[in-house]
Amino acid sequence: MRQPATRVLFVCLGNICRSPLAEGVFRQLVRDAGLEDRIGIASAGTGDWHVGRPPDVRMIATARTHGVDLSAQRAQVLTPALLAAHDLVLVMDAENLRNARALTRDPDLTGRIALFRDFDPEPGDRNVPDPYYGGDEGFEEVYAIVERTARAVLTHLRGRTPG
Ligand code: 4NP
Q: How far away, in angstroms, is 161 Cα from ligand 1 center?
A: 32
List b or e across 47-57, with b for residues whose CB sees 16 or more CB atoms inside 10 angstroms. beebeeebbbe
Exposure b/e, 140-158, CB count within 10 A at least 16 = b? eebbebbbebbebbbeebe
Contact 60, 71 (CB under 8 A): yes
Is the predicted pLDDT of residue 161 greater than 60, yes or no?
no
Are 53 and 75 in contact by the 8 Å Cβ rule? The answer is: yes
54 CB near ligand 1 (under 6 Å)? no
CA 47 → CA 11, 52, 63, 141, distances in Å? 10, 12, 22, 23
Residue 162: predicted pLDDT: 53
Q: 52-107 pLDDT, tens per residue?
A: 999 999 999 999 999 999 999 999 999 999 999 999 999 999 999 999 999 999 99
Return the percentage of the chain with pLDDT > 90, whole number: 94
pLDDT at 2: 59
pLDDT band at 4 (very low <50, low <70, confident <90, very high): confident
**Probe target for ligand 1 pocket from 10, 12, 73, 146, with the most ligand atoms within 8 Å of CB:** 12
